[in-house]
Amino acid sequence: MTENQSKVNENNQCNVCNTVTPFIKELCQTYLPQKDNLISMLNEVQEKFGYIPVEAQKGLSEYLQIPMAEIYGVITFYSRFTLEPKGKYTISVCLGTACFVKGSQKIMDRLTQKLGIEAGQTTEDGLFSIDETRCVGACGLAPVFTVNGEVHGRATVKMLDEVIDQLLAEEKASQ
Amino acid sequence: MKTLEEIHQIRTQKRKELELRTNAKADTREKHILVCHGTGCTSSKSPQIIENFRAILAEKGITHVRVIQTGCFGLCAKGPIVIIRPEDTFYSNVKPEDCEEIIQTHILEGNRVERLLCKDVDGSKVNRLDELAFYQKQERRALKNCGLIDPENIDEYIAFDGYLALERILREGISPEEVIDIIKKSGLRGRGGAGFPTGKKWELTKINEADQKYVVCNADEGDPGAFMDRSILEGDPHAVLEAMIIAGYAIGATKGFIYVRAEYPIAVHRFQIAINQAREYGILGKEILESHFDFDVEIRLGAGAFVCGEETALLESIEGKRGQPRVKPPYPAEKGLWGKPTLINNVETLANIAQIILKGPEWFSSIGTEGSKGTKVFALGGNVNNIGLVEVPMGTTLREIVYDIGGGIPGGRDFKAAQTGGPSGGCIPKEHLDIPIDYESIKTIGSMMGSGGLIVMDDTKCMVSLAKFYLEFTVSESCGKCTPCRIGTKRMLELLEKLCSGEGTELDLYKLEKLAINIQKSSICGLGQSAPNPVISTMKYFREEFREHAIAKECKTAECKALAKITIDPEKCKGCGLCQKGCPVQAIDGEAREKRVINQDKCIKCGTCLVSCPFHAIS
């Protein structure tokens, strides 16, 4: 890592610190310092930042009087919580039974092939993340995939290609 | 805060106002446009439809028509669904841009929009909702308000006898023992899967004395492909809330929790609204309905762990910990949340409670079978025409559900199997299509009722790869606490992967079965004990298919890619040779302008030839 890059990284991290700490403070005002509030608070952090920054873990640890190791244990247990930042677009393919029976594995295969990453990973440019989800409840539209929560139903490989190509084109245009 | 008198007034007044919802001949000029606002229809833009309708009505100055967002009508495959009452006209697959035409033609000119009328499976147009074959054999009890009322409006719930059961109990001095007795007499059993008698559970929690007890509603519907509980919470949240209060009264608890998956944002949102409204009306909180009973409810969100549907794991999660199951006994009725006696009921179970109190246990037990009373809601999905939510009397046969209600298999294909109970259940093959669906019968053939996921599979599905799919699920969801589940299911998955990739042997089949039985016997919780079920049941009914994978290295459905045989149809082949040119391993034989043949020994199943053939002769 060159000196410049490390400086950039430091700056980025500080940006996160700057937003995480006030957010945690705010959160502590809405929740009582009871241990059973941990998961609800983590859900809010995940929702806000797309992952759970270590600063947030520290903040919650102090407020709720729970050791960091235990918080780490909880975060890694639940699939909704992640420790790494997600890409700008999170594409989730439903691998619930109803979608699986209708061929969602093919959609997932195409997606990992097209983006060159596995489920749970993020592309190097930070643009795309792939998730596998179990049932978003839109079984009537199976198979489905979602892009940042927006559902694309009765999905085909072709439709997936079009959606990704369009996002790439939009990104290119905005640069 | 509303007085009892005010609530009575709301009931009478609203009931009159909403008569046109249930009576097609209601004498009124008013019309209600009901738009489904469940997750399925929301995903296909129903909120936009509601907005468009409202904008157009406002623009045209039409005041006798109201647009109402409702819960799920059940027929999710035809969504978004719009129903106009009182005439009960049923429009399906409506798009936001169709709103203008519906208002103009239907509302203003009084003619139906023919092109949007819902079509039945046989292609005939359906004028009214209840004409659909889909609804003929259904009996909507737990779902009675879904699609009828606006779930975000407590007044509409009250109009259809909402909170009347609670009022009777609290105001007419029905004792907790009597309430439990009514539930016991009704024969209601837990709808979450195991089917434990609900009244008995209430009684067990009641007899344990403690300074604090809890009522917990299990809404952690983790079975992939199941969405019954979600639809009830989205369509009729007050019914669940009312039942929780009644349960609290019966067992002597003053505090309740509902544990919902965070993946169900609409359900969470609606339930929170329901809680707020009930508090405002004095139905939740201190001195409920002017009585001396206090009860309050809080929402707790899950965070994506299937095992948290297991009751003790759920309790751990509510306490803010990793959701790992506890060793039973002690059961939650004795030591539950924070060590206090806790009653845990599933959403659908609770949705039946208020009606049992109002209409009596005999009403409830009048339908169903000997050991299973009432109705059961199923989320019908997979290879079936009418995908959606169905509620049938216990004892309805699988054939009726798949063919009469579900409208059969698309593309005229054959039924191969149906999976009930999700990753904990088993599959039911064709020869058992006439089995009545109830707790006992379904167990005798190696499956389980489960929470109500019902996935239909046609003859293009490979059962070995299905078993592998479920094991993948269990492996990733195993909490890791006990060894048989953590390591055993992983080993089972490896054996299935071997079979699917053509490296399996007959010995692997034997190992798979033995391991499955050991895991069943030695795991701590329900998830582990039932994890091998999909493998055991598919091996029981589709043994031949497993043997084909292991011995002949063949997958007839070609779903297991490594075992698929690529062949050229000599009838369609024109001898162009394009496939030969593209083949990376020279596995295609044949001279110029002759029909080509694939040399199976050389073929690596890369699929290049499949794409290159202009005559679709290769499959």
Longest dimension (CA), chain B: 93
What is the structure's pLDDT at B241? 98
Q: What is the CATH number of the domain that holds B308?
A: 3.40.50.11540
What string of H, E and C letters represents the secondary structure of B142-207?
Answer: CCCCCCCCCCCCHHHHHHCCCCHHHHHHHHCCCCHHHHHHHHHHHCCECCCCCCCEHHHHHHHHHH
B225, B305, B320: residue with CB nearest A139: B225
Q: Tell me the shortest Cα–Cα distance from A5 to chain B, in angstroms.
A: 35
What is the structure's pLDDT at B27? 86
- Whether residue B599 sits in one domain with residue B488: no
Pick from B296, B328, B298: nearest CA to B311: B328
Residue B19 host element (H or E): helix B19-22
Higher-pLDDT residue of A103 and B198 is: B198
Is residue B161 included in any domain, yes or no?
A: yes
Residue B460 makes CB contacts below 8 A (sequence gap 6+) with B413, B557, B559
Residue B571: CB atoms within 10 A of its CB come to 8
Pick from B164, B148, B159: nearest CA to B359: B164
Residue finishing a domain among B528, B552, B576: B552
pLDDT digits (tens, 9 = 90+) for A155-168: 998 899 999 999 99
Q: Quick one: pLDDT band at residue A10, thresholds 50, 70, 90?
A: very low
Q: Which residues of B touch A46 (CB under 8 A)?
A: 303
- Whether residue B217 sits in one domain with residue B329: yes
Domain of B78 in residue numbering reads as 14-133
A74, A101, A139: residue with CB nearest B379: A139
Residue B516: CB atoms within 10 A of its CB come to 22
Pick from A50, A157, A111, A94: nearest CA to B39: A94
Q: Quick one: pLDDT band at residue A66, thresholds 50, 70, 90?
A: very high
Averaged over B408-415, what is the pLDDT?
90
Tracing tokens 């669906």 back to the chain, one arrives at B437
| Gap between the Cα atoms of B396 and B367, Å rounded | 10
| Gap between the Cα atoms of B504 and B261, Å rounded | 38
- Whether residue B274 sits in one domain with residue B190: yes
Higher-pLDDT residue of B614 and B360 is: B360
Interface test with B, best of A39, A76, A95, A113 (most B CBs within 10 A): A39
Q: What is the CATH number of the domain that holds B547?
A: 1.20.1440.230
Averaged over B565-574, what is the pLDDT?
86
Is residue B268 included in any domain, yes or no?
A: yes
Q: Do A101 and B457 lie within an 8 Å CB cutoff? A: yes
The residues pairing with B69 across neighbouring beta strands, listed in sequence order, are B35
Q: What is the CATH number of the domain that holds B424?
A: 3.10.20.600
Q: Which residues of B touch A81 (CB under 8 A)?
A: 303-304
| Gap between the Cα atoms of B438 and B120, Å rounded | 28
Q: Do A138 and B479 lie within an 8 Å CB cutoff? A: no
Residue finishing a domain among B364, B392, B415: B364
Higher-pLDDT residue of B122 and A68 is: A68
Q: Do B225 and A136 lie within an 8 Å CB cutoff? A: no
Asked if B450 contacts B438 with a C-beta cutoff of 8 angstroms, the reply is no
What is the structure's pLDDT at A138? 80
What is the structure's pLDDT at B548? 94
Is residue B228 included in any domain, yes or no?
A: yes
Residue A82: closest C-alpha in chain B: B303
Q: Does the pLDDT of residue B608 top 80, yes or no?
A: no
Is residue B369 included in any domain, yes or no?
A: no
Handedness of CA B474, B475, B479, B484 (dihedral sign): positive
Domain topology for A89-174 = Glutaredoxin (3.40.30)
Pick from B198, B231, B189: nearest CA to B394: B189
> Which stretch of B76-80, B162-166, B284-288, B313-317 has the lowest confidence by average pLDDT?
B76-80
Q: Does the pLDDT of residue B526 top 60, yes or no?
A: yes
What is the structure's pLDDT at B418? 95
Q: Do A139 and B227 lie within an 8 Å CB cutoff? A: yes
Q: What 8-state DSSP symbol labels residue B485?
A: I
Q: Tell me the shortest Cα–Cα distance from A119 to chain B, in angstroms.
A: 13
Q: What is the ipTM of this complex?
A: 0.84
Structure tokens at B527: 């998830």
Averaged over B386-398, what is the pLDDT?
94
| Gap between the Cα atoms of B264 and B223, Å rounded | 13
- Whether residue B614 sits in one domain with residue B524: no
Q: Does the pLDDT of residue B496 top 80, yes or no?
A: yes
- Classify B3 as helix, strand or coil: coil
Q: Tell me the shortest Cα–Cα distance from B262 to chain A, in angstroms.
A: 8
Asked if A79 contacts A89 with a C-beta cutoff of 8 angstroms, the reply is no
Residue finishing a domain among B411, B431, B458: B458
The residues pairing with B67 across neighbouring beta strands, listed in sequence order, are B33
pLDDT digits (tens, 9 = 90+) for B211-259: 999 999 999 988 888 889 999 999 999 999 999 999 999 999 999 999 9
Please count the structural domains in chain B.
5
Number of H helices, E strands in chain A: 7, 4
> Which stretch of A2-11, B34-43, B164-173, B207-216 has the lowest confidence by average pLDDT?
A2-11
Q: Quick one: pLDDT band at residue B407, thresholds 50, 70, 90?
A: very high
Mean pLDDT for all residues in chain A: 87
Mean pLDDT for all residues in chain B: 93
What is the structure's pLDDT at A7? 43
Structure tokens at A20: 């995480």
- Classify A2 as helix, strand or coil: coil
What is the structure's pLDDT at A15? 60
- Whether residue B123 sits in one domain with residue B18: yes
| Domain(s) of CATH 3.40.30.10: residues in chain A | 89-174
B43, B222, B320: residue with CB nearest A151: B43
Pick from B482, B547, B532, B180: nearest CA to B312: B482
pLDDT digits (tens, 9 = 90+) for B427-485: 999 999 999 999 999 999 988 888 899 999 998 899 999 999 999 999 999 999 999 99
- Whether residue B438 sits in one domain with residue B490: no
Is residue B328 included in any domain, yes or no?
A: yes
Residue B343: CB atoms within 10 A of its CB come to 26
Asked if B72 contacts B146 with a C-beta cutoff of 8 angstroms, the reply is yes
Is residue B142 included in any domain, yes or no?
A: no
Averaged over B64-87, what is the pLDDT?
92
| Gap between the Cα atoms of A101 and B412, Å rounded | 17
What is the structure's pLDDT at B335? 96
Residue A99: closest C-alpha in chain B: B382
B305, B455, B469: residue with CB nearest A79: B305
| Gap between the Cα atoms of B160 and B19, Å rounded | 10
- Whether residue B335 sits in one domain with residue B210: yes
Q: Does the pLDDT of residue B170 top 60, yes or no?
A: yes
Interface test with B, best of A51, A97, A113, A136 (most B CBs within 10 A): A97
**In degrees rounded to 5, what are phi and psi of residue B66?**
-115, 145
The residues pairing with A65 across neighbouring beta strands, listed in sequence order, are none
| Gap between the Cα atoms of B239 and B355, Å rounded | 9
Q: What 8-state DSSP symbol labels residue B331?
A: P
Q: Do B43 and A138 lie within an 8 Å CB cutoff? A: yes
Residue A95: closest C-alpha in chain B: B224
Averaged over B409-420, what is the pLDDT?
92
Is residue B63 included in any domain, yes or no?
A: yes
B263, B303, B381: residue with CB nearest A136: B263
What is the structure's pLDDT at B217? 98
Pick from A83, A80, A26: nearest CA to A54: A83
Asked if B599 contacts B589 with a C-beta cutoff of 8 angstroms, the reply is yes
Q: Does the pLDDT of residue B338 top 50, yes or no?
A: yes
What is the structure's pLDDT at A50? 86
| Gap between the Cα atoms of B24 and B19, Å rounded | 9
Is residue B166 included in any domain, yes or no?
A: yes
Q: How many CA atoms lie within 13 A of B21 on its CB side?
A: 23
- Whether residue B227 sits in one domain with residue B354: yes
Q: Which residues of B touch A77 (CB under 8 A)?
A: 305, 322-323, 479
Higher-pLDDT residue of B556 and B308 is: B308
Q: Do B387 and A139 lie within an 8 Å CB cutoff? A: yes
pLDDT digits (tens, 9 = 90+) for A32-62: 999 999 999 999 999 899 899 999 999 999 9
What is the structure's pLDDT at A149? 82
Q: State how far Cα B198 lies from the chain centre.
A: 20
Q: Tell me the shortest Cα–Cα distance from A173 to chain B, in angstroms.
A: 27
| Gap between the Cα atoms of A43 and B48, Å rounded | 28
Q: What is the CATH number of the domain that holds B68?
A: 3.40.30.10
Buried b (16+ CB within 10 A) or exposed e, B248-286: bbbbbbebbbbbbbbbbebbbebbebbbebbeebbbbbe
Q: What 8-state DSSP symbol labels residue B516?
A: H
What is the structure's pLDDT at A16? 64
- Whether residue B332 sits in one domain with residue B293: yes
- Whether residue B416 sits in one domain with residue B481: no
